[in-house]
């Protein structure tokens, strides 16, 4: 089975199925398609399927001009019919793994995908989970379901975990040139999964087990969460000490060793960093261990939207205004600059808190035409001189490069800058309040 699958991968006769055509699955499909693989993308969202089949992308990192030729050439095809897995040789599961309201892992999307894989599992098939999850998921949840078919892992089929490493909007490191960690249930599982990824990705790094591969991903994002939590707390300290946190960070960054620069902000966003560490914390609680760094960082980071609103309120008070009744213009709602992704964006929390405080809130984002706030939809409004001048405060939550910050400051009564976007603005500094 191993040799036959290896030969199919080598000569590009292997059929690849990717479950989930989102921020992870679609870029992977495009990279595989460019290397002459045939891909069946499976997604339960019919609108997503139709979009892919029309050669259009709703993902920041996948351009229409890259997707369209592959669709036209028959290299990429999308469907909502899981029976397509009957013919598939390699299956990559790239589905969401959110948290519940109590911050417990929600693996329902993984289990739903695995149920379909189990239904159509056949000898010689490679199954890879890419969705971020807690250590032990692959062997504890997925393996038993697949072996219920009577097929034996490492002999009849192959099972591995390879965590996605997607950074939306990063033009330097993409799916293709970011190394992939691979851990299989058996050595042969690791080997064949590594060989598969090496056809399209610059480097595949094998580890001893699926649990190790799962832990690698959580360490990567916990590292960022904890360090961002630290620098966010430093920002709170600097506010009390009445010193500029941005100056402190820039000065510390001149040290050529022993320091790594992180920046404070209005909170954590995206699908990974605000969520993944809690998967590890949850797993450790089941082993009677309390992950103190993770919990503390999560607490600090989650409170940053409240701090931003408190700073806005304080700045308005200093100008003899109150938050209630003030016109607040939010600039940027995506969770990071120059993308349209609003998943877990702290801007959504800031807007809710501002509205709860009685402010009249509007927003502009050149990348995000609308956002859903509970049951209502809020639309981006055109950024004009009149809008800035009529707003009591402009709050920069996302530092998009499309913004002219000199112009924004010159035409604003007050600017609350949570990203140090106005660093190089020279005039009217008295109007700027920084995090």
**Number of independent structural domains in the chain:** 2
Is 121 within the bounds of a domain?
yes
Strands 15-19 and 370-373: unpaired
Query: Higher-confidence residue: 87 or 169?
Result: 87
* Mean pLDDT (the chain, rounded): 95
Q: Are 204 and 248 contained in the same domain?
A: no
pLDDT for the residue numbered 102:
76
Q: What is the mean pLDDT of residues 30-46?
A: 97
Q: Are 35 and 105 contained in the same domain?
A: yes
Is 224 within the bounds of a domain?
no
Q: Above 90 in pLDDT, residue 429? A: no
State which residues form the domain around 168: 2-208
Read off the pLDDT band of 71 (50, 70, 90).
very high
pLDDT for the residue numbered 87:
95
Q: Are 196 and 317 contained in the same domain?
A: no
Is 407 within the bounds of a domain?
yes
Q: Are 33 and 121 contained in the same domain?
A: yes
Is 242 within the bounds of a domain?
yes
Q: Are 193 and 272 contained in the same domain?
A: no
Percent of the chain with pLDDT over 90: 92
pLDDT for the residue numbered 427:
67
Is 288 within the bounds of a domain?
yes
Is 219 within the bounds of a domain?
no
Q: Are 170 and 249 contained in the same domain?
A: no
Read off the pLDDT band of 428 (50, 70, 90).
low
Q: Each residue of 172-221: pLDDT tens digit?
A: 999 999 999 999 999 999 999 999 999 999 999 999 999 999 999 999 99
Q: Are 49 and 194 contained in the same domain?
A: yes
Q: Are 287 and 385 contained in the same domain?
A: yes
Q: Are 41 and 168 contained in the same domain?
A: yes
pLDDT for the residue numbered 184:
98
Active site residues: 272
Q: Above 90 in pLDDT, residue 346? A: yes
Q: Are 295 and 329 contained in the same domain?
A: yes
Read off the pLDDT band of 57 (50, 70, 90).
very high
pTM above 0.75, yes or no: yes
Structure tokens at 296: 């503390």
Q: Above 70 in pLDDT, residue 248? A: yes
Is 83 within the bounds of a domain?
yes
Q: Are 180 and 254 contained in the same domain?
A: no
Q: Are 134 and 272 contained in the same domain?
A: no
195: domain CATH number?
Answer: 3.40.50.720
Q: What is the mean pLDDT of residues 385-392?
A: 98
Is 214 within the bounds of a domain?
no
pLDDT for the residue numbered 168:
85
């Amino acid at each position: 089975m191993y040799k036959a699958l290896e030969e199919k991968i080598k000569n590009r006769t292997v059929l690849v199925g990717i479950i989930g055509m989102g921020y992870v699955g679609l870029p992977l499909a495009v990279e595989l398609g460019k290397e002459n693989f045939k891909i069946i993308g499976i997604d339960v969202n019919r609108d997503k399927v139709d979009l892919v089949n029309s050669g259009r992308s709703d993902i920041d990192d996948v351009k229409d001009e890259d997707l369209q030729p592959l669709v036209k050439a028959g290299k990429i095809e999308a469907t909502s019919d899981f029976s397509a897995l009957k013919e598939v040789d390699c299956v990559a599961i790239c589905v969401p793994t959110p948290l519940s309201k109590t911050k417990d892992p929600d693996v329902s999307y993984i289990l739903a995908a695995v149920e379909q894989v189990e239904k159509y599992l056949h000898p010689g098939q490679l199954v890879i989970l890419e969705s971020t999850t807690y250590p032990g998921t692959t062997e504890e949840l997925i393996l038993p379901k697949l072996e219920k078919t009577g097929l034996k892992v490492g002999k009849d089929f192959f099972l591995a975990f390879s965590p996605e490493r997607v950074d939306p909007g990063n033009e330097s490191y993409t799916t293709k040139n970011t190394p992939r960690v691979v851990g299989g249930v058996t050595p042969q599982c690791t080997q064949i999964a590594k060989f598969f990824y090496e056809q399209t990705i610059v480097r595949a790094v094998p580890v001893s087990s699926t649990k190790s591969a799962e832990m690698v991903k959580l360490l990567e994002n916990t590292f960022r969460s904890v360090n961002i939590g630290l620098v966010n707390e430093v920002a709170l300290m600097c506010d009390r000490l009445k010193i500029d946190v941005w100056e402190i960070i820039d000065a510390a960054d001149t040290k050529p060793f022993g320091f790594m620069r992180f920046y404070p902000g209005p909170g954590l966003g995206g699908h990974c960093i605000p969520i993944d560490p809690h998967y590890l914390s949850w797993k450790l609680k089941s082993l009677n261990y309390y992950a103190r760094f993770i919990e503390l960082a999560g607490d600090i980071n989650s409170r940053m939207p409240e701090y931003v609103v408190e700073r806005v309120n304080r700045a308005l008070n200093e100008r003899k205004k109150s938050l209630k009744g003030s016109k607040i213009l939010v600039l940027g709602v995506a969770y990071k600059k120059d993308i349209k992704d609003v998943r877990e964006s702290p801007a959504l929390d800031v807007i809710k808190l501002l509205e709860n405080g009685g402010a009249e809130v509007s927003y502009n984002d050149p990348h995000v035409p609308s956002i859903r706030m509970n049951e209502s939809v809020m639309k981006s409004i055109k950024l004009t001189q009149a809008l800035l001048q009529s707003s009591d405060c402009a709050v920069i939550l996302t530092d998009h490069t499309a913004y002219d910050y000199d112009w924004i400051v010159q035409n604003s009564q007050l600017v609350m800058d949570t990203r140090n976007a106005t660093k190089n603005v020279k005039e009217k500094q008295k109007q700027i309040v920084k995090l």
